[in-house]
Structure 1
Amino acid sequence: MLKKLYNLFSSVKLAIVILISLAVTSIIGTIIEQQQDPDKYLREYGEVTYKIFKFLGFTDVYHSWWYILLLVLLGLNLIICSIERLPYIWKLAKYPKKKLAEGAESSFKLVHKITLSVPDKEAVVGKIKEALSKLGYKTEVVEDEKEKNIKYLFADKNVFARFGVYIVHAGIIIVLIGGLLTALFGYRGYMNLAQGGKSNLVTLFGNGHIIELPFEVECKKFTMEFYPSGMPKSYISDLVILKDGKAVKEQIIEVNTPLSYEGIYFYQASYGQGRVFFFHKENQNAKEKQLIVAFGQPFYVGKGKDGKKYFLSPVAAQGGIIFVDLLTKDGKRIAQAQMMPNNWYRIPQTDQFVAIAGADNKFYTGLQVSYDPGTWVVWTGSTILTIGLFIAFFISHKRILVRVKDVKDGKVNIVIAGRTNKGNESLEKDMEKVLGVLKSSYCNIQAPKEEKDV
């Protein structure tokens, strides 16, 4: 059973199937808008289709369990494929055969043979070694005590190119880890802040879950400019980050100029009208606190007797009446109430009380909040992947073995054999340069004739 699973995950066919599945997933995620309000899906697709999409995870593809599973499977496939094939490449790169034994040249694609009238084979070996070193090869003279009449030369260049595909695999795996970090721990939501208001609550797109940030964001000032036609020209927010009640960062943001703090980005995304002035107290006799809350922005009102956290969110106004939603942290609306100014209301399930002091139609800023913990992991993986692809496609591992053998009448027979993992043209040119050095060095002794060029 384990052997079958291992064989399955070491299969290239499985990798192709997973990659096609991820491509189809990406197409679905492009066609269907992700993490939108349920009302939008209901308007566009109808109730039945929306429920199907919701069940299949098509409204939040990149956080769905099956998308995460595909990423995990692809990562496992790459790791096992690498483990399966890496030992052979490692042995080939680190422990090569350095001697070109008699007849071994028949297994090489590129072979040159030449005979020179040179009494000293040491000099010939030296010339070849020098020529190869100038071409960037790492050379080594190999001797055999049993073969006094033969000298061997081993030359290697760009041995790291053998590992280009594994660098690519490593880059992909790191990118996948970054994607998993984002899928599991990242989020994207919104925060509506009235001028003078502050909050640490983010409402997630799609499911409406409420996330509590470890700091507060205050809108110190919100400015809008309009064209003569009345269309908005620009909207700018002056934001302050409050940590433990102290201002730690202030920045003016506008479209495409976000505020970043602790890896969380706040983008100027929208605007709206309407803010409500609330009074909140923890029990009937406690001192009240004043809050300035924008429409659509929840605020915490306390923990209920059932252990759940409860939030209030003003959603609309009609006349002097403010409509508010009572929410749980998972975004579920427990109740909707109508509140009149200057009256205290007890929050169900809690001992908390709220009252409305008033409301106005001033503009509020709409912030898109994004947390992507895998960003730098993905960038790192992408860089490694790019380097690996460059090595895999444009750099070749070249290896040349030379045998210099004394033959009769003071002559030496030279066999030069070469092998590369991609493209023979470059290696052929290097070998021809070595032959050119030999011919130019010993042409005054005898014009050498190459015996065979395979």
Structure 2
Amino acid sequence: MENYVKQFRWSIVKILSNLSVAITLLSIILLLSLLGTIIEQDKDISFYQNTYSQQIFIPELLIWKIIILLGLNHVYSNTSFFLLLIILAISLITCTFSNQIPIFKISKTWSLVKTSKNDINLNFNSKLHYYTFQHYEYSYSYKGLIGRLAPMIVHASIVLILSGSMVGYSQGFMAQEFIPKGEFFHIQNTVNIGPLSYIPQNFNGKINNFFIEYNQNKISQYFSNISLLNDSNMILIKQSIFVNKPLAHQNITIYQTDWSLLGLRVQSSTQKTLQLFLQKINNKDIWITTIRNPTNNQEEFSLLISDLTGNIFLYNKYNKSIKYINLNMLGQLINQFTINHPIAYYNRIFKVVNLMTSTGLQIKSDPGTFLVYTGFFLLIISSICSYLSYCQVWIYRHKQYTQYKGITNRAIIYFDKEYKQIIKAL
């Protein structure tokens, strides 16, 4: 029974350490990742019903049903996807300990002597940089042993990347927030949250300012000046962020994603300030508000805004443009404007004071980022190491003749020239 268990364990190890198994697992993971990129993730069922309503194979079978059935609507959080990642990591670790490390040890054992005093007198050119070992008439030389480390570094890097992905999913979270300028905010609207995630309760932020830079009436960049505070309202960090320049503090990163207009602040002739809600039109960057006189239905007009340059367009109730004013030149234009086109709000003249803006932020925590970055760094190192050729030369000196043999794992043409130099030197 014990021998049977050992054989079963060894057969499992042989399967997991097989390169073909690892390549197959990696191909399946790549295919699922590709489908997860093509198919929109984590949407409502109605979205998939409307988007993927074509029938395939069987008339009654719809594409959206296949997507839901196979879990392709949430590929990266699917249990089967994580099982594939775990099995691939185990396969790489098994291959490293059962194949790569023994090969490296054998390669190292063959060249125990590395100091110049133990080198054989073969008159090698110093530029060849071969380590040598001699036993009577037998000689052995090698170089590029570090190239043997490349497969192990590749395996370690992939394991780190997979581990970082799983840690990020299980312990990370992402939230989307729209915060008015000048207001405080907390993490509330979480979009994705892992089963082991912890959202810090002492997180407190404030939008000090929000503004947009324009280039020829087109948006060049938009900025949010943010302060993060502790429980005692002491500022921990203050920074202006924009697209591609987030704010990073401890394990939380805040990205600039969007912006919007909330409303207008208007002031009447009695200096009373009112706030008017702005409604976005058809997902376009155009906002509108309508002002009506409840005692006179004929006194109705709309204010339309498309950006933060200060241009405000006025339309009557027949959707005909009356005029536009610029908020930045309001002090110069308001008297002339109100004389020619009186604006009645409850039969009172008013002026626009300022625009109420809000900034769209993505708040993200991913504890696995360091592991992923470390994995990719090791992957770069392994790529460099893989270009180093591992070369071996055997020499047998007989009284009447000398035999030579040399092999390399890559760069055969270069090694052939080097091999001829060695023979010539001897």
With the shorter chain as reference, the TM-score category is: 0.5 to 0.7
Q: Which moved more, 1:420-429 or 1:204-213?
A: 204-213
Distance of 1:435 and 1:51 partners within structure 2: 70
Give 1:3 shift.
Answer: 4.3
Give 1:270 shift.
Answer: 1.1
SS of the equivalent of 2:361 reads strand
Aligned pair partner of 2:255 in 258, 267, 282: 267
Cα 1:205/1:58, change in 2 over 3 Å: farther
Aligned pair partner of 1:388 in 374, 382, 385: 382
Q: Deviations over 1:194-245 (max 9, x none)?
A: 222212214233689997434211111222466887x755432111001222
Q: Which residue of the partner structure matches residue 154 of structure 2?
A: 168
Q: Which residue of the partner structure matches residue 431 of structure 1?
A: 419
CA RMSD in angstroms, aligned pairs only: 3.6
Distance of 2:211 and 2:374 partners within structure 1: 38
Q: Deviations over 1:233-279 (max 9, x none)?
A: 5432111001222111111112222111113221111123438xxxx
Give 1:185 shift.
Answer: 1.7
8 Å CA contact 2:173, 2:194 repeated in 1: no
Letter in 1 for 2:418: D
Letter in 1 for 2:381: I
Aligned pair partner of 1:362 in 340, 353, 356: 356
Q: Which residue of the partner structure matches residue 75 of structure 2?
A: 61
Cα 1:232/1:428, change in 2 over 3 Å: closer
Letter in 1 for 2:135: V
SS of the equivalent of 1:381 reads helix
Distance of 1:399 and 1:160 partners within structure 2: 13
8 Å CA contact 1:258, 1:265 repeated in 2: yes
State the TM-score, normalizing by the size of structure 2. 0.64
Distance of 2:102 and 2:192 partners within structure 1: 49
Q: Which residue of the partner structure matches residue 131 of structure 1?
A: 124
Distance of 1:91 and 1:226 partners within structure 2: 63
Cα 1:404/1:5, change in 2 over 3 Å: closer
**In the TM superposition, what are the counterparts of 1:146-165 in structure 2 within 5 Å?**
151-165=137-151
Letter in 2 for 1:369: I
Question: If each structure's strand is expressed as a fraction of its own residues, which one has the higher value?
Answer: 1
SS of the equivalent of 2:389 reads coil
Q: Which residue of the partner structure matches residue 392 of structure 2?
A: 399
Distance of 1:84 and 1:171 partners within structure 2: 18
Would you say 1:239 and 2:232 are equivalent positions? no
Give 1:38 shift.
Answer: 7.0
Cα 1:89/1:220, change in 2 over 3 Å: same
Distance of 1:70 and 1:381 partners within structure 2: 18
Cα 1:224/1:141, change in 2 over 3 Å: closer
* Structure 2 unaligned residues grouped into runs of 5+: 1-7, 54-61, 113-119, 264-276, 279-288, 292-353
Distance of 1:211 and 1:40 partners within structure 2: 30
Q: Which moved more, 1:33-42 or 1:170-179?
A: 33-42
Percent identical among aligned pairs is: 26
* Structure 1 unaligned residues grouped into runs of 5+: 99-124, 144-150, 276-293, 296-316, 320-359, 408-412, 439-454
State the TM-score, normalizing by the size of structure 1. 0.60
Letter in 2 for 1:63: S
SS of the equivalent of 1:73 reads helix
Q: Deviations over 1:87-112 (max 9, x none)?
A: 541343122289xxxxxxxxxxxxxx
Q: Which residue of the partner structure matches residue 195 of structure 1?
A: 181
Distance of 2:126 and 2:237 partners within structure 1: 58
- Number of matched pairs: 316
Distance of 1:224 and 1:133 partners within structure 2: 64
Q: Which residue of the partner structure matches residue 407 of structure 2?
A: 419
Distance of 2:27 and 2:380 partners within structure 1: 21
Q: Which residue of the partner structure matches residue 373 of structure 2?
A: 379
Q: Deviations over 1:274-316 (max 9, x none)?
A: 38xxxxxxxxxxxxxxxxxx99xxxxxxxxxxxxxxxxxxxxx
8 Å CA contact 1:273, 1:363 repeated in 2: yes
Would you say 1:14 and 2:21 are equivalent positions? yes
Cα 1:368/1:87, change in 2 over 3 Å: closer
Higher RCO (C-alpha 8 Å, min separation 6): 1
